[in-house]
Amino acid sequence: MSYEGRMLHDLAMPGRERVEQALLRALLMHGGTLLEFGAGQEVVDELADDFGLNADQRTAFLQTVYRKENRAKKSLLWHRLLFRAADSLARDHLVSRPSRTFQLTGKREWMLTEDGFDQALRTCNIPRVRKNSLAVRSYDVQKIVRRLMESRRPVNYSPIDTERRVITTTREALLRIRGFRQAVIQAYSYRCAVCGLKIISPDRLSWEVEAAHIVPHFSMGRDDIWNGIALCHLHHWAFDVGWFSLRDDYAVEVSSRAGSLPKDYGRLGDYEFITALSRRPERILLPSDSEIHPHQNAIRWHRQNIFRRDEEQRV
């Protein structure tokens, strides 16, 4: 038995597989990423608490002699065990290694892959249907997010993707939609562009905010950042049905039908939903980078095809 193996055995440390499962759970609960394991890191203690490790198990260290430099290096056995478990998950392609994630996010962190995400959901008994609404990042989706965020704003932009097939169930299409959602809510800092609402579920797994398509998906609207806007559930609905739209300068424009609404409609106690919308004088809350603001061509399409649809039909 190796020196490390003997120490693990003598101190009755938890087995590698159990640590791997615990890591997958921790990754899910921490939004898909964990920093490299080091001293003073909350998750290291959190996992030690989960396993009920005693003081000896937490503080035992391994001493390795570097022959070349003729010096001894000490490392905590517990950190070593966490590293080995994460390394093993990386070999199974369930997480990406910190060196690889660094190239994508600029942070040295372990990050779930799509396969790791699925495995973590199974481990936590969370149904896979919840996956799209979870505030969990994955390496594969982040790659798409980065591409969407870094593309240059086109001048002649068409928000409609004429080449897309109507029915797409491929893994690629699902990833593209998740990438769109993640990029949009991330760009708007997880808040509604109209009212600013920002809230997460008590288990910290899902954000309330949604990534709305300006040209809807069923009208072949593109899954890119210029056709997206982050909205709360209520404003998403109101935007989709045409209660409001946006002017070219991103100010809210409310439907002319607002005046004919019965008095008891659109009220949340003293708050009048439509009146509050019409009182927004300035532009909505947008990302600081203007390259990723909604494209005027997408907003115009919305004004002409959703917002003024009724008026045009009446003429």
Whether 218 contacts 209, CB under 8 Å: no
Residue 149 or 285: the one with the smaller Cβ distance to Zn ion is 285
* Nearest distance in Å: CB 256, Zn ion: 21
- Residue 146 CA to residue 134 CA, distance in Å, equals 19
- Residue 132 CA to residue 245 CA, distance in Å, equals 26
5 phi and psi angles, rounded to 5 deg? -60, -40
The neighbouring-strand residues paired with 206 are none
Residue 192 or 306: the one with the smaller Cβ distance to Zn ion is 192
Residue 112 or 212: the one with the smaller Cβ distance to Zn ion is 212
Residue 106: C-alpha distances to residues 31, 98, 101, 102, 117 (Å):
16, 10, 7, 4, 21
Residue 94 or 192: the one with the smaller Cβ distance to Zn ion is 192
* Nearest distance in Å: CB 219, Zn ion: 23
Contacts of 72 (CB under 8 A, 6+ apart): 63, 64, 65, 66
Residues that bind Zn ion (CB under 5 A): 192, 194-195, 197, 232, 235
* Nearest distance in Å: CB 278, Zn ion: 14
Residue 45: C-alpha distances to residues 51, 150, 204, 291 (Å):
10, 37, 20, 41
* Nearest distance in Å: CB 52, Zn ion: 44
* Nearest distance in Å: CB 250, Zn ion: 15
Residue 181 or 235: the one with the smaller Cβ distance to Zn ion is 235
